Chains A and B, each alone.
Chain A
Amino acid sequence: MSIAHRAEIQDLEDTFSLLTDWGDRYRFVIALGREVEPMDPALKTEDHRVYGCQATVYLVPRVRASQNGKPTIIEFLAEADAAIVNGLIAILRKAYAGRTVDQILEFDLDGLLQRLGLEKNLSPTRRNGLHEMAKRIRTVAHRHAAPSSAA
């Protein structure tokens, strides 16, 4: 994890640690979601639809291929029609968006969500699409992993 990445995640954890009440945590998650940029409607295609969610969720991964020795970066856009899910997307973006393949594959998302008190939101039985989104991004990362880091 880069220093900037680490600081951003630490900020998030610090803020959450001050929010002891579920209501405050949900309000914060919803507020984070409001900052997610709306997705171009043209990208909301069947291919980008994330199923297994009670909200309508679209996810568009983008890969910036490695150039001049710089590592491959995974970007993604995502948007949901439910406010809490959009907030979870914002958190997922902090963890994964603009990161290198290795950073994504190394990142302990379960651990982060646990520290944020949101771990139940990642369980595959919770049908809010977060689990499925995380899986898709990791699949893209795996596909672009160098042979040495694929293991």
Chain B
Amino acid sequence: MHEATAQPARLDVGRLRRDFPVLARRVHGQPLVYLDNAATMHKPTVVLETLDRFYREYNANIHRGIHALAEQATEAYEGARARVANFLNAPSAQEIVFTRGTTEAINLVAASWGSANLGPGDEVLISHMEHHSNIVPWQLICERTGAALKVIPIDDRGQLEMETVDALLTDRTRLVSIVHMSNALGTINPIETIIAKAHAVGARVLVDAAQSVPHIGVDVRDLDCDFLAFSGHKIFGPTGVGVLYGRLELLEAMPPYQGGGDMIKDVRFERTVYNDPPHRFEAGTPNIAGVIGLAAAIDYAVSVGLEAIAAWEAELLDYATQQLCEVKGLRLIGTADHKAAVLSFTFDDAHPLDAAMILDRQGIAVRAGHHCAQPVMDRLGVPATVRASLGPYNTRSEIDALVRGLEKVREFL
């Protein structure tokens, strides 16, 4: 296809920035330099207006109402589901379950699929670079079911030790739950290979795509994954909404996650008949505004161009890597061959918290800590790092501001 091979149109960052009202604000009297995009991304005006319009013009509960507002809200909500399915290239909108975020999506699979499919002697395989939200739900379900949790190790640069995967996958492996792109290091994992290997031993695969959806994009058919989870707020959308993609035949066989309204067909005290997926997994009034806002966010990302975003972020990551490597005493943590949008580092003897606090006073927002990935930090021998994470609206001059900010940190410590 010509379109696929053509160079994506170059991102007009100056124009893009005008879509994000918050980027115009000052922090401690300085222009905001927002480099905490892996935690959450800012929202473009079009998303804010979509949320506002929902509450002003057609706020109603969905699925049950007969009146015009309820129909409009239901159409927008279900339209958003179709939009997400299309975005992920999922075969059917029925395979899209709305959740509170990636964390809830993983917990849903662990609790529902896990309780039905895991037993003593079974194995769940994760990696050493998982976010806590892709560790703890599996620990909980393994404890309850007697299954064992196994871990793919990582090397000193923060890459999966792929040569160990074959031995870790056994005929008892029921599920591999793996992060596509590390939030702490930016490493992009070869999940296509892992998925193929896992399927070869009959295991299912869940992809934690919280970081990859906004930065590198995903296609569930291309990946051939069984489940995939991401959060709306990391791709220009509102907080409190996320997505679980699940193969329909798997979702159909799964018991409910939570009980309540909307997830049932018929409720009697003797017996309740559960609804079909995806509604079976959406008990209670969902985050209607959030879901509609997420669809607007996805439309926005697509209109900007995911390839153009990825290309700009890659260019910026190269620039930032070069610039930071020039800073005396700075050590990048996570130097994988394939990585995106994240620069995790230590700086001289400065504690990451001190560095982040002094950067904050200069209007520069970064994250300090273990980034909810303590095992990664332990493995790489650092208690914590400073993390600068990029978004499409970041500029070279913001990277320069970070470098100057770090020179200032040095003056203090």
Binding site for B on A (CB under 8 A): 22-23, 26-27, 30, 54-56, 81-85, 127-128
**Cβ–Cβ contact B351 & A83, under 8 A:** yes
Within the complex, the shortest CB–CB distance from A104 to chain B, in Å, comes to 26
**Cβ–Cβ contact A83 & B413, under 8 A:** yes
Residue of B354, B356, B361 with highest tally of chain A CB at under 10 A: B354
**Cβ–Cβ contact B412 & A27, under 8 A:** yes
Q: Report B342-368 residues with CB < 8 Å from chain A CB.
A: 350-354, 356-358, 361, 368
**Cβ–Cβ contact B412 & A55, under 8 A:** no
B119 within 8 Å of A (CB atoms): no
Supply 17 further A-B pairs (C-beta < 8 A) apart from A26-B357, A30-B413: A26-B358, A26-B361, A27-B412, A30-B412, A54-B352, A54-B353, A54-B384, A55-B351, A55-B353, A82-B351, A83-B351, A83-B354, A84-B353, A84-B357, A84-B358, A85-B353, A85-B354
Q: How many A-B residue pairs have CB under 8 A?
A: 42
**1/0 per residue B382-413: CB within 8 Å of A?**
01100000000000000000000000000011
Residue of A nearest to B413 (CB): A83
Residue numbers in A under 8 Å from B28 (CB-CB): 22
Residue of A nearest to B355 (CB): A82
Residue numbers in B under 8 Å from A55 (CB-CB): 351, 353
Question: Can you sample 17 A-B contacts with CB below 8 Å?
Answer: A23-B361, A26-B357, A26-B412, A27-B412, A54-B353, A54-B356, A54-B369, A55-B353, A56-B383, A82-B351, A82-B354, A83-B350, A83-B351, A83-B412, A83-B413, A85-B354, A128-B353
Within the complex, the shortest CB–CB distance from A73 to chain B, in Å, comes to 31
Binding site for A on B (CB under 8 A): 28, 350-354, 356-358, 361, 368-369, 383-384, 412-413
In whole angstroms, what is the CA distance A22 to B412 when docked? Answer: 12
Within the complex, the shortest CB–CB distance from A114 to chain B, in Å, comes to 18
Residue numbers in B under 8 Å from A23 (CB-CB): 361, 412
Within the complex, the shortest CB–CB distance from B182 to chain A, in Å, comes to 19
Within the complex, the shortest CB–CB distance from A19 to chain B, in Å, comes to 13
Residue of B nearest to A127 (CB): B369
Residue numbers in A under 8 Å from B358 (CB-CB): 26, 84
Residue numbers in A under 8 Å from B383 (CB-CB): 56, 81
In whole angstroms, what is the CA distance A27 to B369 when docked? Answer: 22
**Cβ–Cβ contact A84 & B369, under 8 A:** no
Residue numbers in B under 8 Å from A30 (CB-CB): 354, 412-413
Q: Which 6 residue pairs are nearest across A and B when measured between Cβ atoms?
A: A82-B351, A82-B353, A54-B369, A54-B353, A55-B353, A83-B354
**Cβ–Cβ contact A81 & B361, under 8 A:** no
Residue of B353, B361, B412, B413 with highest tally of chain A CB at under 10 A: B353
Within the complex, the shortest CB–CB distance from A44 to chain B, in Å, comes to 13
Residue numbers in B under 8 Å from A83 (CB-CB): 350-351, 354, 412-413
**Cβ–Cβ contact A54 & B368, under 8 A:** yes
**Cβ–Cβ contact B351 & A81, under 8 A:** yes
Residue of A nearest to B383 (CB): A56
Within the complex, the shortest CB–CB distance from A82 to chain B, in Å, comes to 4
In whole angstroms, what is the CA distance A128 to B351 when docked? Answer: 12
Residue of A22, A84, A85 with highest tally of chain B CB at under 10 A: A84
Residue numbers in A under 8 Å from B353 (CB-CB): 54-55, 82, 84-85, 128
In whole angstroms, what is the CA distance A30 to B412 when docked? Answer: 8
**Cβ–Cβ contact B354 & A84, under 8 A:** yes
Residue numbers in B under 8 Å from A85 (CB-CB): 351, 353-354
Residue numbers in A under 8 Å from B361 (CB-CB): 22-23, 26
Within the complex, the shortest CB–CB distance from B38 to chain A, in Å, comes to 16
Residue of A nearest to B356 (CB): A54
Residue of B nearest to A126 (CB): B357
